[in-house]
Every structure is written in C-alpha cells, then in structure tokens.
Structure 1
Amino acid sequence: MKKFTTKFNYKFLFMFCVANIFFLLALTLQSGLSEKNISIVPQPQHMEFKNFKVKVDKNWDISVNTSNKENIFSAKLLNEKLNNKLMITDINSKFQTRRIILAMSKDNFKEKKELRITDKIGKEGYVLEVFPSSIVITAHTSAGVFYGVQALLQLMEVNGNVISIPGVKIVDYPDTAIRAVHMLDLQGSLNELKEKLDFIAGLRINTVIFSEQAFWKLEKDNLQPGRENSSFLQELFAYCRERHIEPIPELQSFGVALTILQKDPHAAEGIWVQDEPFKWINNMAVPVKSSEVFLENSGFEIGGVAGIPAGWTFGNEYGRNDWCRDKTSAYEGRCSVMINVPSPLNISSNTLQSKLIMVDRDTAYTLSFYAKKREVNTAVDRGFAIRIFQYDRSGNFLVENYLPLQYANTSWEKLEFNFVTRPDTAKIYIGASIIDGYGTVWLDEFKLKRMNGELVNVIRTESSNISITDSAKTKIYTEGKDYRVFDGEIKHPYFVNYNRPARIERLETGKINENEPVLISYDFVLRFHPATWMTPYCPSEPRTYKIFFKTVNDIIHLLKPNYIAIGHDDIYGIGRDSRCKKRNMTLDKLLSEDINKLNDYIHTIDSNVKMMVWDDMFNPWHTGGKNNFQMHYGGLPGKSCNAINLISKDIILMTWWFDSNDHMNKMKNTPDCFKSKGFSYLVTGWKDKKNIKNWIRIVKDNEECKGIIVTTWDGWDNNIEGIEYTAKLSWSGQ
C-alpha cells in the first residue's frame, strides 16, 4: 500500500508539472506573440504587456477637455482613422462608460489615480495605458497627447467593424529635442505634400525645413496654378502646426542666390575687369587683346603618332588604352576623341591632355566644347570631368578647376566651362578623365576664349558701372558726354554665348580722340559651374539686401515662423568684383558682415525669430577650412572659417556631412569646435545608416547639439528609409 501511494504521488506530481509547463508555455507564447505582433515606430522607451485585448466599437466615446483646441484636433484625427465614428465628449461628462481619454496631466478624470505621470516624459512625452473599459493617453502638453494618439493608431488591429487594442502600458518620450526633415523643393500637389507631413508626423518628426524658391515669390502662383504662393504656404504651415511640426522656411541665398538674381541680375557678384586696353574702330570700342586663344588641333582632325591627335597626349597612367581618336563620330569634321572605360570596372582612366597654353594672370576664360556620353556611371562629386590645371611661370602647380560631365546628353551638346586664372598663373593645360567610374564619352571642337573685354553680362548699378580713362589714367571720361553705352542683355543664368554683349560708342563731340587708346573697367558676371544656382550675390551691393529684407519682412508677417534658415552653404568667389575689392575687406569680415546684417534685420522685425545657417563656410573641417579656396573662383585669399569668430552667437549652425567614413574628420572635430566658439548647432545627415547613427551619437554626447536633420537632396522617395531610421534613433535610439 505504501509502495502504491508513493508511485501514485510521483505520477500525479509529474503530470501536474507537465500540465503547468504547457500552461506557462502557452502564456509565454501568447505574450510573445503579442509583443512580436505589436510594432510602434519609433519604438517606445518603456512598454508593458498585460495579456488582454479590448475591443473598441460604436459604444465607445473619445473624451477630451473640449476647451483644449489642440487636443480636440487630436481627437478628431483619431476619430477619422477609426472605422466606427465615435462620439467626442467632454472629459468631465458623467454618462460615459467605455472611452478613449485624451487628457493633459492637469486634467481630472477617474483613471488618473491609476497612472503615474512624471516630469521625466518632458514636453513631448506621453503615457498610454489600456484598461478593460478605457484607454488613457495623457501628457504635459498637447504635443505629447498627439504623439500618444500616433502610438495608439499603430496599436490598433482592425477586423471589419471591430477594432482590437492590446492591453499595454507605455511611458514614452524623445531622447532628442529637434527631429527634423529637410525637404528640398515643394514637389507635388498640396494634398501630396500633406501626405508626406502625415507620414513624418506619425514618426514623431517635429520639424521640417522647406527649401523652396516660392518664399521669394509670394505673389506668384508656381506652387499651384491659379493660387498665390502666399495662400498655399499659409495652408501648408498651418497643416504642419496642427501636427506639432515646426515649419521653417529656408531662403537659399549668397552662393545659391537664384531667385535674388532672377529679380535683379545686377545683384550678382561679378568679376572685376580692371584697366582693360581698348581702341576705337568706327567709333566703337574694341578690345586690344584678341579673345580667341590658340588651341592646336582643337577638333582632333590632324592625326599624330600612334593614332594620338597632334597637339594632344593620351596618358598611360594605368597601362590601358582608354582614349582613342574616333573617326566614326564627330560633331564637326571627321574625328573626335573618345574615352571608353567598360563596366563594371569602376576605375580611374588615363588622361587626355593638351599642350601647355600661355594665358594672362587674373583673367576670366571660357572653354567651350561639344560632348556626348553613353552609359556613364561615376561618383557624384568626382566622376568624368574636364579639368584645367594652372601653373606659374616656374612650372609649379597652383590649382585645378573641373567641370563634371554627368550633365552631358547622349547626343552632341555644347558645354561651357568658365574659370579665372590666379594672380600668379602663367600657363594652363586642358585635361579630361574618369575618376571612379565607367562609360563612354566623346569630345570635340574645343575653343578657349578670353572673356576680359567681351563686355558680356556687364553689371550696371549705382555702385558698379563702366568707367573709362586715358591710357595714363590721368583723365576720367564721362558717360553721356564722351561716350555712350548700349546696354547688352544680362539675365540669370548668365550664359556668355547667348546673352547679347554691351557696346560702347565714342561721341565725336566728347573729349576722347578718334585714335586714342583707353582703359575700360567694369564688373561682369561669369557662371562657374553647370549648376545654374551657383552664382553668388554681391554682399557689397545694396540692391541685394533690398530684395532680401523685403522677402524676410513678408515671410515673418505672413507665416510667423520661429526660425528662418538662410542657406549660405555653397559660396564660390566671395569678394571678387569692384564693389567688394574697393572696400578693402578681408574674406572673414566680408562674410561675417553679411551674416550679421541678415540676423540683425530679422531681429528688427521679430526679436524671437532665430536664424539658422549651413556651416560649410564657417567650419574649419569643411570648405571654410580650405586656404585660398575662394581664389579658385576669383575671390579673396584666406579661410572663410575665420568668420565664425565674428558672427553673432545666437545664430544656429547646421553642420552637414554625408558619408559614414568622415574622411575630412568633420564629424569628429565639429562638436568641440562649436562648443569652444559658444554656438548651438544641429547635425545633418543623409540616408546612409552608419552616417545617421554616428550623428545621433554626437547629439546624445553634446548638450550644445539641439537635434538632427535628415536631408532629401536626391528626392523624397529615395530617402524614406533614411527618414524612418533617423526618426527611430532620435526618439528612443531603437
């Protein structure tokens, strides 16, 4: 009997344990499935699962303090997303049984005692808890309530008319104060833009920077035909604010001065032609120096040794025959030159090189040629390019100017490459090659033209005009008495081959003798890059700021922003025309004067509006740290980064870097640099996940860094993953 009892007890115990193991396993699996099936993006800081679900049907209400307009908006937004349209009632109503509560932490409601709301959640955090007969979202601010609603929407499981919500408790808040998207150009309809804003609002993005030329053209209708841009932008900004997104207008300026220069092409930073010798033919001024520069065999029609065109060389740096003189395709004549790097090699090619060409120092030139391409694939910032290599009289290399050819078409197209020689340049040669890429390119009909004296794109303002003296510079002649100017055509984007040049006529009743040589000085505009937006405005021209100030004034009064971004990233050729040079200012002082002038004016309109600027020109680890960089484009010597010591400390710097390797050490060194200078800043990444992750680490380690911006330079659709990844890491790091 004892033996039987013992055996029975062990058997019962074994069965009981097995049953419990299966029961616990079932609970674990149920809990695990719940966690696995629930996805909230960004992932909350803390989330507990209660292992039950509630079903929301038409018998539920949405309860909110009806005096809070922002929370009413969140309630309506939630209701729109539900299949069953629920009643929106006041939070203090006595007749509610089942309800979704959207409440501020200061509101009174019966479930409040079961919640623990701490200051840790901050201004944008929230607490979301699901009870058997109620769902509560509460926060210290309406932004927190809105974000709680976004989380609740992601929790919902819809099955017909029934919506199930798992029992959870979420305590959530952001790690990063400013979580921004930079939106380049407002492409698409207003409804399409609203869809994008809804998308980023769901990701808890709280700032969007709109980089758009329409801010300069509020009276136009280019955003929506038949509707003024001002009305369009007002609705867009209101839509952002309803979703707790801070809308920031970006007025691209200085280096990217497209719209200012479209309004007044004379506001451009020109090139100063000083004391250019002219003579008179039939009373018309003609430059003494010829504009045409001799290039040997510029059309490659004359063959040479081993099939290489006379006057040119094909390099053999890599032991391959990349270049050839092609007799099957030409723009003009019988031959062109062709480079062919077959895919998928993705390598650097040998170089096509001209003979050395003697040139004048401190002079503007235009190299024109014809090109076409086939299946060219190259690095964006390098790739296939025409290059000008400048040397001094002793043969020392000075600088390289280059023109990327990813802009060329698949059929023959005329391209122009403008450059300025340095004060110590004596000779140049033309080169062409592929760096890190592959494809086929044909080139033909090179022409080099000296632009000083061509009177094209002449600037005529109160502070910059044509002046004429005798050759000894003892007499100054007067327009209207001694000579007459027939204005040419000057308009953005300043094509030198299409804009009609000015003409100057000697007046026979004036003091200039018929055969007298004269010196003519003037400023003219030359475009240095195939991108039409890369012509800077002149920081010494009053017309520049007349346009800028009016636009800023209109935007502040119309859109009431808390921030205004002003660009100032890609600036090439600061201080090269007479208006700047006559003021005898250094590079850093000229740049800082411009920035401070804009900042001061913004504050005269509204002292609470903060100005934001890209840091490229102010950062010693970016363009600003390159010594004499502006001289490559005819500008002033020195480093523009020295201007950081002269600009107002209340300006917010936006530091951008795109790759994950940080090959210029910008990401590594910028935080300490800006901290030592006393600036707050935002970091700005692109779609590369490692790049974004590295920036987030910097945000969290440096209190001077106020947040992160993710950019969409190559289009919105190409950056969705980068936007989502930035949202995740900037909110909770997950």
Structure 2
Amino acid sequence: MREHLRLFLVRYIKLWVFTVFSSIAAILFWSLFDQSKTIHQSEKWALPIVPHPQEIRLKNKEQSFIIKPSTRILVSGLTLKNRAEVEVLNSALNKHFIQPLEVDFNAEDFHDSIIVGELNSGNSGVDSLVSRSGLIFTESYPGSEGYFLDINPDYVLIAGQDSSGTFYGVQSLLQLIYREKDELKIQPATIIDYPDMSLRSAFYGFYLNTLEDDALIERAYVDFNKIAQFKFNMIDLASHHYSHLEMEVPSHPEEKLWQRFARLHDTAQRYNLRPRVGGWAKWVNTKSQWGVDLTTLEGIRTSQMIQLNGTNSYDLEISSGKIAPNVMHEPGTGRQWNQEPFVVMDESGSEVFKEGRDYRVNFGEIHAEAYQKFYNTRQTNLEVLFSEVHSGEGEPAGYPLRWGETFNAPTTIRRLRGGRIEDGQIVKVDFSYIGPDPWSILKVRYCRSDRRLHTDGPENYIWRWCNDPARFLAADDFSLDVDETRVFAWDKRCLDSGKTRSQTWVDDIRYYYKTIRSTNPGARISMWSDMVDPEHHAGLYGTQGTASLMVDAGMTDVIMIPWKSSIAAESVRFFADKGFPIMPSCQNITKEGYSDAPKWASLLREFYSDKNLPFGMMYCSWEYKFDTDLAWEQLATVADHAWSSAPYIIHTPVRRAPAGTEIEIVAKIEGDKFVFDGKKVRLGPLAVKRAFLYYKKSRSDSSYTRTVMIKTGTQFSAIIPGVPQEVKTIEYYLQVSNETHISYSPKLAQEKPFEIIITMN
C-alpha cells in the first residue's frame, strides 16, 4: 500500500510539474526580480544583489554581456534533477524575446552563451572557463551552496559547488540584468559567493482556511519564487494538519489534503526551498469544519472532591478553582463519553456510584461566541470550542496553565434522593476536559502522560503526525509540535507517573524524535525553545531540566528556535553551551519597523562561529504579510545577515604591474543597511575602524608587510612600492574591520592571496 501511494505521488508530481510549472514560471519572475533590486539594497552598493555576495571583483561597464535573441543557455554536465535553475533562468529571459532562448546540452563553443554548470565536476568546459579566470576552487572553497559567477562580454559562467549553489548563482545573475537603451545587459563582475549560515528559513504558515482557498495557494507559488531570490533554503509551512493527510479538502471533496500539500512541497523544492512540516501555527478565523478532527485524544484528566448537600447542583472545577471548561461528553446524548469516563466515587475510591441512580450530571454546553462549533466527525465525537480570545492569567504560582476567563456554561452535579450518596457526603469526581488555548482558537490541550499518545499505530495522532508526511510527501524536515503545551505534570495521569515536568515533557519529545527517526533516520528536526530555555518560559512551566535531559537522551541534534529578542544573548549562549544547533526566529520588530535579525546574527557569529554546529536564522511574522514593501524589507534583512557579514570589500585585483613602478591598491568598503551596534538595531552602515594592505614579494619575503589604507571619499587605497625586475610576482590581500567584524579580500587571505605579475618596463 505504501509503495502504491509513493508511486502515485511520484506520477502526480511529475505530471503537475510538466503541465503547471512550465506555464507559471514565465509569469513569476521578471516583475518580481525588479522588486528584489529595489527592496533593501543600499544605494551605495556597487552591485544590486541581495543578500550581499561575499567576494565581488568589479569590471568595466563596457564589459557587460549583451543578451540577444541568438544567445544560448548551455547546460554543462547537469542532470535532469538539477535543472530547476535552468528553467528559472530561461523563463526570466524569455519574457523579453518572441522566441525562447535555445537551451543546448552538448555545445563546445561558448560564444554568446550563458553557461550553467558545476565546479569540480569533471566537466572540461566549465573547468576551462574557470582556468581562464586564474582561480582555483576546492571542495571547501566556495563550499556547500557556494557558486562562482563570471560575467564577460563574450560569455557568462554560472558554476555552483553543488546544485544549490548553481541555483543561487542564477538568482544573483538575474539581479544584475539591466536595460540600456534597447539592449538587455548583464552587469560585468566576478563573484565568489557562499553562505555563512547553513540554516536560512522563511515562515509561511498554511492554516486551515489557506489550504482550502485556491487563490491563496496560487499566491504561495509567487511568494515562494520571491523568497527564493533571497537565497533562503527552507520554507516553514507550519501546518498542524500532517496527521490528517488522507482527509478530503472540504471545498474540494475530490481532492485529498496530501495532494494539496504535494503541490506546495514540489513548488517549494523547485525553488530550492526545503519544506519543513509541523511547527506552531495560530489557527484563527477559519470556517472549516475539519478542524474538529485535530482534537482526538487532546484532553486533560483531573479529579475534584465535592460535598453534595441535599439536591443542590455543584459546579465542576479544576484544581485552581476555575470552572472546568469543556468537560468531555457525547453531545448527541448529553451523557458521558466512555473513552474519557465521568466517574463519581466515595473519598476512598472503593465505591463507585451510578449515574441516574445516585447522582445526575448536567454537562455544560460548549458554545461559541464569535465563530462556530462543530460536532461529530470520523475521528472524534467531541464538541470543539470556537470562541473569542479571552485575556487574563489567573494561575497561582507553580501551576503551569494559562487561562482566560470562563465563558462556557459549567458542568454541574447533584445528588439524587434515594441513592447511595448520603446528604452532605464528600465524593470524588474524575473527569476529562478540553482546555482552550487563548491564543489559538482551534488549538486544544492534551495530556502528555496519556499512554495512547505514545503508542505506535494509525489510531495515534502523534504517530500519524510523524509518519504520514514521510509516507505521502517524502518529508525530511520536521518542526515538532510540542512547544507551549502548558498542561502536564499536574493531572492524575502525570502525578501517578512519579516524573518531574521536565521528564514528562522529554519523554513526549523522545517519542516524536524516535518515531520520525524510525521512518527517516536522516530527517532534520527542530523545535521552538520557549519551554527549554531557562531565560524564557522553562521557569514558568517547571521544565528547567529539559535541555540537560535531551542531552542525556542523545537529542542534541534538535535545532532550537528561540525568538525573544530581549534575552537573545542569554538564549544563544545557553544553547551554544549545551551543544544544540540553533535557528532564531527573527519576529521581533523595533519601533522603527526594523527586523531584529542584525542582533541575532551578531550573537550567532559570536557564540557559534567556532563550533561545528549548524546555525542560522528564520524570518517569521506569524501571518500573511508578504504583500508589503516593509515585509520584503524585513525578509531581505534576515537573508542578508544570515548569508554574509559586513564590511564588504569591493576590489578589482591588480594583475600586472611594471617593475620599478608604485602599485596603487584601491578598494571600496560597503556595509549593511541595518546593523546592530551592540546596543540596538539601527540604520547602517557601521563605520570602518581599520583597513590594511598586506603584501610581500612572493619568493624573497618570508612575511607580509602591513600598510594602512587611506580613506578618500568612499574609497580606501594604499601603495605597494616599486620592485626590481628580478621580482617576478607580488602577493597581497586586504583586511578591513568595523565595530564587530573583520573581513578579508580575498576571503582566504594568506592561503590564496591576489598575485601581481611584474613585467619589464
């Protein structure tokens, strides 16, 4: 069955790619590429590329490559799997010509061509063009996701270290296209580029109403393409619906949910965005009845001691004294639900009383105030609350539960005359209820100690959540749905276990972890860190021991996602010390509207640069805000600071110089539009503190001579004294520092310096 579904999925995606992708790709890019050039970039940048490349070597404007109808795209050594970048490039260029540009896979003549290939792949064409540049690339330089872009009058070379790098090279090239009179040109430059941070994600929450709306799905395709331009490599789809992939889509009964997700996943992957499933999503303002399916087994079981006097009715309460909300029952009959029984007994628990003979319970109606309520579905027969968000804390110390005000009719119990309960007797009532999350209308609570939640099989909500995405979508990136639980280690099931809150929660996390790993051993797993971080909410929920227990359990490869900018330094330091990968969510915005990404980036480089751990950043706004310039500005800020770090040295290397003549070395230093100055995020750039030129006569000098570069306007310069004719070459590199970072040109400095060949007068 699983193989049958897998084959069907493969055929479905291939058919969709063939019929849909080719038709929408040309529409997507060109109008969007113009926006990426104007959003975010500093007017002082030499090249309009976001994020800023690591190494830029400018050429004369006269060396621009002119794109003509006769221009060909030469694909050199790429497999069919790696052709997404070619399709994106061709779709963008074809918008300007009546006939599509020719795509050739076997040409040896590179004249008037844009060559797309990969470095160190054994392809003679790419290798020969790299040799012309005088550069040498290795496995680590430019490294994973890196690329080499060389734009000349006669040809353009885009060569990635891998398929991702090639894709990013295309994205950079498209930002260099400009019109001059009636000609379409590519600005000339040599670029060597690669990311500082391996984790670069954008949050794009697919909530219930989104997945039903065809227009929002189509908009997502456009947004994915725009996000890809900024070289993100992950897209967080943040939907809780991965346990229910076989459900029919209410507005499209002919379609299963997994089929909708398959199209989204495939489109994201075409744009080099790795889809992350799961995550914390705020389900708000939806009208979908299928949200009720998500409540399976998500309840809290508790006990209450009540003294029943006469035939008076008494409200059921939870341990804090609040009215018990949403006591589980069968709405059709108004009676108890056998899967979560309502049990009344004497104080010792030895005698169990009977409904209708000894007492009468009146289950309070679960009603809605602003939205709707729904009843039975195939997967649960509980009523589910749809209501307005209520505010207020009301939780005593040590009680990890966030409450709004009571807004449902209470469930009551009363003694019946003639029964076995004596007048004034204290009885013990065991019952289960659903605790509404005041932030998430559809998100309900469940007990982490309920054994049914940690039992393998399709009847288990968590088991399906971990397995079905891999089964239907070949998912390999998961964001655990475990954060902000708020209810555990206090109800009867938890107390009977004898575990601490941290132990209870880590056992739950471990079940997710091992279930995902059993299906896909190489899957990437992340989680929001609120309740793990002692500086954040771990103290509030009594889960301070979670990080250490996860280390003991061998789960240190789980990527932590902190988000609270005011404690950023403490959070980053804590997870670095514990040995966890990290990817902060840059969701806090300054009063000026600036993203907090520069602050997170500065701290990540401080605490993680010397560790062999993945790290990076995520853009997040928690809602659809991809339709304003400000949103794209903030997204670009995250991308820029995750990819590279200022100061950026723009330098055209000196290749030859006559003997006996002074050699002037000139560079332009560029900075980021938004910066963190150690105190706050503000407009940049940070000031250059020092700029040095290091040089030596290659064979005769054992060490480099250092000289200060002098600033003149926007340029820095220094002089290498003339050398006699017997000196064959001079090696040199540049070092520039601002308040937080040191940069080199070339990036490898002494390891691979620039070389000047000394010629005869």
The TM-score bracket by the shorter chain reads 0.5 to 0.7
Match of 2:222 among 195, 205, 208: 195
CA 36–538 in structure 1, closer or farther in 2 if over 3 Å, else same: closer
Give the structure 2 partner of residue 711 of structure 1: 620
Unaligned runs of 5+ in 2: 1-42, 331-335, 366-381, 388-405, 455-459, 646-671, 673-761
CA distance in 2 between counterparts of 1:513 and 1:620 reads 48
Aligned-residue offset at 1:457: 4.3
> How do 1:547-626 and structure 2 match up within 5 A?
547-624=461-538, 626=539
CA distance in 1 between counterparts of 2:487 and 2:226 reads 40
CA distance in 2 between counterparts of 1:37 and 1:140 reads 25
Secondary structure in 2 matching 1:700? helix
Aligned-residue offset at 1:169: 1.2
Identify which range, 90-99 or 697-706, moves more after superposition. Answer: 90-99
CA 151–224 in structure 1, closer or farther in 2 if over 3 Å, else same: farther
Secondary structure in 2 matching 1:682? coil
CA 254–35 in structure 1, closer or farther in 2 if over 3 Å, else same: closer
TM-score, normalised to structure 2's length?
Answer: 0.62
Aligned-residue offset at 1:249: 0.7
CA distance in 1 between counterparts of 2:202 and 2:449 reads 33
CA 214–571 in structure 1, closer or farther in 2 if over 3 Å, else same: closer
Secondary structure in 1 matching 2:249? coil
CA distance in 2 between counterparts of 1:586 and 1:724 reads 43
TM-score, normalised to structure 1's length?
Answer: 0.64
Match of 1:477 among 349, 353, 363: 353
CA contact (8 A) 1:278 1:520 kept: no
> How do 1:486-525 and structure 2 match up within 5 A?
491-493=383-385, 497-498=407-408, 501=411, 512=420, 515=423, 517=425, 519-523=427-431, 524-525=433-434
CA 264–152 in structure 1, closer or farther in 2 if over 3 Å, else same: closer
Q: Deviations over 1:520-545 (max 9, x none)?
A: 31233444636435642211224445
Q: State the number of aligned residues.
A: 527
CA distance in 1 between counterparts of 2:114 and 2:462 reads 49
Relative contact order, CA 8 A, sep 6+: which one is greater?
Answer: 1
CA distance in 2 between counterparts of 1:266 and 1:504 reads 29
CA 609–480 in structure 1, closer or farther in 2 if over 3 Å, else same: farther
Give the structure 1 partner of residue 89 of structure 2: 78
Q: Residue type matched to 2:383 in 1?
A: K
Match of 1:540 among 434, 437, 449: 449
CA distance in 2 between counterparts of 1:261 and 1:519 reads 36
CA contact (8 A) 1:658 1:691 kept: no
Match of 1:652 among 558, 562, 574: 558
1:727 aligned to 2:639? Answer: yes
CA 234–507 in structure 1, closer or farther in 2 if over 3 Å, else same: farther
CA distance in 2 between counterparts of 1:207 and 1:89 reads 29
Q: Deviations over 1:553-597 (max 9, x none)?
A: 111111112221013332323233222222232111111111111
Aligned-residue offset at 1:649: 2.2
Unaligned runs of 5+ in 1: 1-33, 292-362, 366-419, 422-449, 631-635
Give the structure 2 partner of residue 437 of structure 1: none
CA 76–498 in structure 1, closer or farther in 2 if over 3 Å, else same: same
CA distance in 2 between counterparts of 1:455 and 1:716 reads 34
Give the structure 2 partner of residue 685 of structure 1: 586
CA distance in 2 between counterparts of 1:249 and 1:189 reads 18
Match of 1:180 among 201, 218, 228: 201
Match of 2:344 among 454, 457, 468: 468
CA contact (8 A) 2:298 2:444 kept: yes
CA 38–667 in structure 1, closer or farther in 2 if over 3 Å, else same: closer
CA 264–135 in structure 1, closer or farther in 2 if over 3 Å, else same: closer
Greater strand share, structure number: 1
CA distance in 2 between counterparts of 1:264 and 1:55 reads 56
State the identity %: 18
CA contact (8 A) 2:279 2:527 kept: no
Secondary structure in 1 matching 2:499? coil
CA distance in 1 between counterparts of 2:496 and 2:618 reads 40
Match of 2:242 among 212, 215, 233: 215
Match of 2:70 among 59, 67, 86: 59
Give the structure 2 partner of residue 45 of structure 1: 54
1:142 aligned to 2:142? Answer: no
Identify which range, 140-149 or 523-532, moves more after superposition. Answer: 523-532
Secondary structure in 2 matching 1:582? helix
Q: Deviations over 1:308-332 (max 9, x none)?
A: xxxxxxxxxxxxxxxxxxxxxxxxx
Give the structure 1 partner of residue 147 of structure 2: 126
CA 555–266 in structure 1, closer or farther in 2 if over 3 Å, else same: closer
CA contact (8 A) 2:248 2:257 kept: yes
Q: Residue type matched to 1:46 in 2?
A: E
1:99 aligned to 2:113? Answer: yes
CA 596–722 in structure 1, closer or farther in 2 if over 3 Å, else same: same
Aligned-residue offset at 1:179: 1.1
Q: Residue type matched to 1:270 in 2?
A: I
> How do 1:264-413 and structure 2 match up within 5 A?
265=295, 267-270=297-300, 272-279=302-309, 281=311, 286-287=313-314, 364=318
CA distance in 2 between counterparts of 1:622 and 1:469 reads 41
Secondary structure in 2 matching 1:121? coil
RMSD: 3.8
CA distance in 2 between counterparts of 1:462 and 1:118 reads 68
CA distance in 1 between counterparts of 2:294 and 2:87 reads 47
Secondary structure in 1 matching 2:585? strand
Aligned-residue offset at 1:170: 1.2
CA contact (8 A) 2:249 2:256 kept: yes
Aligned-residue offset at 1:617: 0.6
Largest Rg, 1 or 2? 1
CA 705–243 in structure 1, closer or farther in 2 if over 3 Å, else same: same
CA distance in 1 between counterparts of 2:232 and 2:437 reads 37
